Structures are given as C-alpha cells and as structure tokens.
Chain A
Amino acid sequence: MTSQRSPRRRRIAAATVVVGALMATAACGGDKDDKGGGGDGAGYNAGMTGIANKSTKKGGTLRFIGKQDFDSLDPQRQYYGMAWDFSRFYARQLISYEPKPGSNKLVPDLATDLGKISDDGKTYTYTLRDGVTWEDGSPITSKDIKYGIERLWAKDVISGGPTYLVDVLDPKGKYKGPYKDKTKDKLGLSAIETPDDKTITFHLAKPNGDFEQLLAMPAGSPVKQSADKGAQYANHPMSSGPYKFTSYKAGKSAELVRNDKWNKASDPIRPALPDRITVTINSNVEAIDKLLIKGDYDVDLNGTGMTGSGRAQALKEHKANVDNIQTSFTRYVDIATKVAPFDNIHCRKAVFYAADYKSLQTARGGPEAGGELAPNMLPKSVAGSDDYDPYGVLKRGGKPDVAKAREELKACGKPDGFSTTIVARNNQPGEVEGAESLQQSLGKVGIKAEVDPIDGAQSAGITGSPSVVKKKGYGLSVTGWGPDFPTGQGFSRPLVDGRFIQQSGNYNYSETNDAQINKYFDEALAETDPAKAAEIYKKMNHRVSDLAVEMAFVYEKNFSWRGSRLTNAYSSPAYNGRYDYVSLGVK
C-alpha cells in the first residue's frame, strides 16, 4: 500500500511543476504593473542577516497565512514551533527569548530578572514586575503562573504540550493536576511556592541547567484559575500579552486585536506594532505562495519555506523579498544499533563513507533550498556546536569515499556488503527521495538496501517503537530533528541519552545507551553556566559522531517570503529560524 504512494506523489509533484511553470510564465506578462507584494522588498536575505525594514511605526494589520493551523491556542498544549513563536502575542512567561536577530539568549519577561539560583542549582526564585495585567485588567500573580504550570500535570485534559517541567519538578508524578487537586485554591503542587503574589520559587528534584529554557516555553505561561475552562480553554485563552483574540475558527482563521489592558512599560520584549493580527488557513500550499507574492498576505505562519514553483517565481521576480533562512533542523540518517549488522560500528562507518552527501543534499533541494552539508549532528544555533568532521564529509565535498567504505566493510566482516532496509516518512518532503539516493550510493559498495516508505503520521508507533524497528529490520532511517529549546540537552538528549529510550514514541532510534554520553548529559545539566555546559555538550556531540550512530547530512535551510509591508523582520534562532513574530510590524 504505502509503496504505491510514491509514484503518485511524484505525479502530483510533476503536475505541480508544470502548473508552476505555467503560473510563472503567466505572471511574467503582468509584471510591469506590479501591484503585488514584490518590487520594493528590503533586499535578499535582509531578514536573515539583520533586521529588514527596521521601524517603530505602529498601526496596520499584520496578515499571516499558512497551511497548518495551530495545534492549540492553549499555551500549555502547544508543541508546534510556529505556535510557540506566535503565542508571544498573547501569552507571557517569566522568562523569554531576547527579541534580537541571531540571538537565542534568555531575558526576563514577566519576571524582573533572570532566576536567583540556589547554590545546589535546585531552587529558582523570581519576582514579578509591577503592572503586569490580564486581558480583564486584573494583575498577573505568581499564583497564576503556578496554576498555569500545574495544568501540565493534568495530562488527560491538557494533552499535547511538552512535559519537561513535570519531569523536572515532579519526576515521580505525585501531583495529579489541578482538576484533581483537593486543596482550596488548587495550588497543591509542592515543588512551586508562591509566598506572595509577586514571588515564585521552583524546587527542582535534580539540578537542570536548562530550567529557564523550560520556563520560557509557552508551557510556562500563567493561566488565571477562574478563567480556566480546561480542555475548552484552547478556544479562547485569556491574554497576558499585547493582543487578545476576537475570533478563532479552527482550521480557518483567527483574529487578534490590541489588548488595551496590556501595559507597555511592563513588557521589555514586545514592541506591539500592528493594531490587528489576522491568521488565515489555506489548504493549498501553491495558493499560499501565490497570495504572498501577490501581496494579499504578509508572512507564512508555518515558516516551513516556499514550495518549488513559488520559490522559483519569488527568486526570479522578487528576490528582495526572499530570505534564505537557516533553521535549527539537522537532516540525518539514524542508524539502528540493535539491527544487525549495525551492531558493529564498522558497518555503521561503512555507511558514513559510502553515502553520497551531495546527492542527499540534492534530494532536499540543494545547498540553498535544502541546506549546507553537515559534518555532525549539532546545529549551528546550539551552543557547543563546531565543525568536528571525523569522517571528512566537508573535506571530500560530500562525495563518497568508496575505498574507505570497503575497508570498513572488511573490518565489519562483511567485505561483500550486506542487506538492510531504509525507512522514510512519506509525508515529509524529500525523505523518500533521500532514502532512494542513499540506496543508490550504498549499492555501489555492495550494501543492498530496500526503501520502505511509511505513513509519517503513524511514525510514533513504527520508527518510535524499538520492537517494530527490530522486527522490520529497519537498519536506517532518513529523518530530521530540531530542538525544543536551543541547548545541547534540548537537541540531543531525546536522541542519544540511553535513559530516554521509550517503547513507543521513541526518538532514540539508534538505541544509543553509552555510559560516556549519559555522563556528559548529567554533568552538563548540573552546570548552570551556559558556556561551561556548552563545552560539555561539544564533547558529547563528538562522542556521538565517533560512535557513528547518527549520520547528519545537512543543516536545514529554506526560502521564506518576506512581504514588502513587513517591518522589523528578522530570523530568530530561538524559533527555528522563523521571523520573530512578536517583533513584526507593517508599513
């Protein structure tokens, strides 16, 4: 069944290319009286290298368009990166990311300062700013923050969001969530103390140097208990930020207007330039690109890059409106060490040498639309990353080293190669193509690989299940990964920490359980100085390379449309390279 989808998809792709070409030709005729969004863009890559159209002008309507709707508006239930980026319009946290190009530094938001950390690294204390208010005019208190975070424990109702805070504050799961909380004010979580309305103290079970990263997620947003509608809160979350919802039609549209109770002086992060923000969901990706280029909308909500034909047209006719965005994703091939013969490191290394990185890069769209060749896993935006390249990927320009590959095969005891299966998600662009390209280059050294495209939506129960991986003999998996927060822990821990291997929804596909790596994580977590932690993560990352369990091939890039009306547009590494939505304004 699944394998039949590939040709069909290719037919669709081919048709799309044809239509795209037609559309591009059609567009040429009308270019002279350009009434669209192009023509006066701020310049190619202006939003990638700095701030495009820097401005403090207020007013106007900022118009988002996207194919994918928010997974939820409830801050505790969001997991989509774009939802995290967007949520800053209406949800504040104690800590957030600095609104500056190229920065993923943490700065205080509702809190007056970054946390006061106890010497053992287990206690974080914050004081709230004066004048922080809810949409209804009432002040935001420390209890609201505690209540909001407590909601994460109600996993049956508040599902979908990240649960890092639960693991850090209550790893044994003693607390059952506010809806089953018998205390009067529903503030029974003992790990968080709110001695007064301005003060909040977190008690961690174990030190975690990235704790403030966790607080900066929307999951750390306050929720006013009297306004909490549980599951239904997602339909109209109460705003703590500069904008509030006037309407939300799931899968169709959303509209936000200024929250007049928001106090500019209390908020160092949000310039709040537009008067109104609209979100339109459109199911046709080609149409989205066309409407952006036409100027009906300003920015792609999803920020996943333009499609082939839209990209071609934009680059040809409106290059000044395009940014070549560096995302925080690494595209890589995961190697299952529990599937023979990949239990032998030499057989894994044989793949590293036999693979044609250049063609894998091409399958993703080339160096600009796909991304630059990656020597190792850790993306550039994560502290601790470097150009460690033990397999000489950069040195040989991504070309395969057949001689070395054969040597490794010999060392593995399989001089004539072996058979394996490459798994790829069919709903992710470029992954099946990548798997096919890998299949070809592996074939040249005698490794016979079969490609098995799987339903990406079901991957949690397939590639996410070690027993299924073993049963099916999925030796290799073409996949991609981006960090939940921009540190070595945020990026690498789910992938290679042996204690994170799960029986379903597993991301440690290689089933790496290396004492050295695990120890690096423990050391880094205990370190509250980010610079020192970065040093440890660097070593961890090198170790991952040396073990040859994950074969990175590109650091992902894409082309994003930047509408001519947009001001203050810059790519933010804290939000996976998307524009920092909360800073945007319109001319």
Chain B
Amino acid sequence: MMLLVVMLTTFAIFFVIPKWAGTDPALLFVGKQADPAAIEGIREKLGLGDPVLLQFWHFVEGIFVGRDYSSGPDVIHCSAPCFGYSFRTEQAVWPQLTEAMPVTLSLAAGACLLWLIGGISAGVVSALRRGTIWDRAAMTVALAGVSLPIYFTGLLSLAVFSYQLDWVNVDYQPLTSDPGKWLESLVLPWVTLAFLYAAMYARLTRATMLEIMGEDYIRTARAKGLKERVVISRHAMRSTWTPILTLLGLDLGALLGGAVLTESTYNLPGLGRLAVNAINEKDLPVILGVTLIAAMFIVVANLLVDLLYAVIDPRVRLG
C-alpha cells in the first residue's frame, strides 16, 4: 500500500508536475539538438501522449507482469519486475538495481553495526564517567563526527590510507566474488559513514543512560546484589535500546542520503551513486527504480525496527 503511494508520488513528480508547470519531460531526454521531430519521437517513446492514468498503469503493469518494449528493429520483452530500460544506457533497470543493492546494503549494514557499537559504547562510557576526561573526550570526538562532512573525512581517509600509506585498495568487489577484497574496499567507507552517525548515537545513549540509571528498577537491580556490570549490561542497556531503535528507524530511512556522498567519494557502485548518475542524466526509469527501492528500503527498515521494538519491549507486543 505504502509502496503504491510512493510509486504514485514519484510518478507524479516526473510526469505530471512538469506538465502542469508547462515544461515538457521529453525535453529532458532529447539531448543537445532538440528539434521538434526529435522531441516528438521521444514523446512517443515515453508514451507521453497517453493519458496520465494509462501511463501509470503501464508503469505498474511492468513491475508486476512485465512489458514489451520496441527497441527499433525488434520487440523485446522485459519480464517482471520490469522497471523499463535506462534511457541512457538502454540496459534494463532491474538488473542494475539488483546489482547496486548489495553494495548499498553492505555499506549500510557494516556502517550501521560500527556506529551502533562505537556510538553506544562511547555513550555508555561517558554516561558512567560523567564529567570526567573520558566523557569529554568521547563527546568531543562525537561532535567532530557530526560536524565534519563525509567529503572531508572521506577524502582525508582516502588520502592517508589508500594513496599515501597504500594500506587499503578501495576498488569494490562483491562479497560473493572475493570476501577479502569486499571487506578491504568497505572498511574506509564503513568507518567514515559510521563516524558521522556514531556521534548522534553516543549523545543519545549518554542522555538515555543517565536517565535510566536513575530509574527505580536500576535501584532494585542493585538491591538484589547484582554486580554493577550486570546492572548496566542487563538492566540499563536493555532500556537504552528503545530510543536508539527509534533513531535507527529514522536513520536507516535517511541512510540512502548518506550513502550517496559516501558512494561517490569511495566510488562504490551502489544505489546512491546510481541515483546521482540517473538524476544528473535525467534517466527517468532508473530514478523511478531507485526511488521505489529506496522506499522499500525504508519500509523494510521500519518494519524491522518495529519487530525489534516488540522483541525488546514486551509492552509493545500484541495480545
């Protein structure tokens, strides 16, 4: 349902709104020599002459059933899920998406893991050592993380670790083809992206921890005679997860935005880069495909977060 709404919105942004605004979407794709015949040809190719609803129907139909396209001399069938063919490369969009998706997922998952570990531990340390040098150091690093843009930290890390020290080779390799190289190529992007996000998690963890350590059930846990380590890890941490998850749900959705910069900086062939290229080249089918995948990403991420909520907090569970 939500996907349908996203689909409609995306579709409208590209097809309907330009029409209202008085510009012709065909103009975006025609290239340098925009003579009327060429514009007409493109319009025909895009089916822009059809009623908008019909255009949308074809678009949806392609995704669920597949569609036939004329390549000129032949008619080619694009089987479901069909997002059409890239205007620029004439390659089917779906395989491009499936190829780019694992890259972004690798990037997102690794960075997410790192920033959770880094952010939460920094947050816990500074909460428990509030006011000490550890607290201040952790929060200063965290502040730096939030303030420094990816293109800065990214370029710097590349300059130092890849070009100068030559420790890592950042040419991406899929996990399935070479796990070692995969890891090597992703280490810097993971750290860079995680650095950006870890800060927010450190601050959140710190604030939440401070609040939770004052809760009655923490006193109860101590009154049982539990070791402080257990009090923190079992009782305080469990509660800290709830606000962290809330933030995570929001961030995972917005992560594609961070991935755009990271992927551009590290030349990772992921969805973010695909999206940027497609937008630069006004490659509508690819833009639509990436948008839908991104929407799906957000939906799935939120579903996952909701499920985790239920795992963590029994009060959220049904029944």
Contact = CB atoms under 8 A, between A and B. Distances in A.
A159 B30 contact: yes
A464 B34 contact: yes
Given A16-B155, A290-B159, A460 B34 contact: yes
Most buried by A among B72, B76, B96: B72
B282 A457 contact: yes
Given A23-B163, A159-B30, A502 B88 contact: no
B133 interface: no
Contacts of B50: none
Interface string A228-272: 111111110000000000000011100000000000000000000
B73 A16 contact: no
Interface string A359-375: 00000000000000000
A100 interface: no
Nearest to A19: B155
Interface in B98-147: none
Interface stretch (B37-45, B206-214, B234-242, B291-299): B37-45
B86 interface: yes
A27 interface: yes
Interface in B217-235: none
A228 B72 contact: yes
A229 B282 contact: no
B173 interface: no
Most buried by B among A29, A154, A173, A286: A286
A12 interface: yes
Contacts of A282: 267
Contact of A231 (B27, B85, B159): B85
Size range of the interface on A?
A: 35 or more
Contact of B44 (A156, A457, A505): A156
A291 B34 CA distance: 37
Given A27-B164, A155-B38, A460-B34, A283 B72 contact: no
B72 to A, nearest CB: 2
Given A27-B164, A286-B155, A235 B89 contact: yes
Contacts of B158: 284, 286-287, 290
Contacts of A231: 69, 71-72, 85, 90
B203 interface: no
A43 interface: no
Contact of A162 (B32, B44, B164, B263): B32
A178 to B, nearest CB: 8
Contacts of A30: 164
Contact of B76 (A161, A232, A286, A505): A232
B269 interface: yes
B264 interface: yes
Given A230-B71, A250-B91, A251-B274, A163 B163 contact: no
B264 A234 contact: no
B31 interface: yes
Nearest to A462: B23
Contact of A502 (B28, B34, B89): B34
Interface string B25-67: 0011111111101111110110000000000000000000000
Nearest to B71: A230
A157 B72 contact: yes
A284 B31 CA distance: 25
A112 B159 CA distance: 52
Interface in A132-170: 154-163, 167
Contact of A228 (B28, B34, B73, B265): B73
B33 A162 contact: yes
12 contacts: A19-B151, A23-B159, A26-B163, A79-B33, A155-B38, A157-B41, A159-B42, A178-B72, A230-B71, A231-B69, A250-B96, A251-B273
Given A12-B151, A464-B34, 11 more contacts: A15-B155, A155-B38, A162-B33, A163-B33, A234-B89, A250-B86, A250-B91, A283-B267, A284-B266, A460-B27, A505-B35
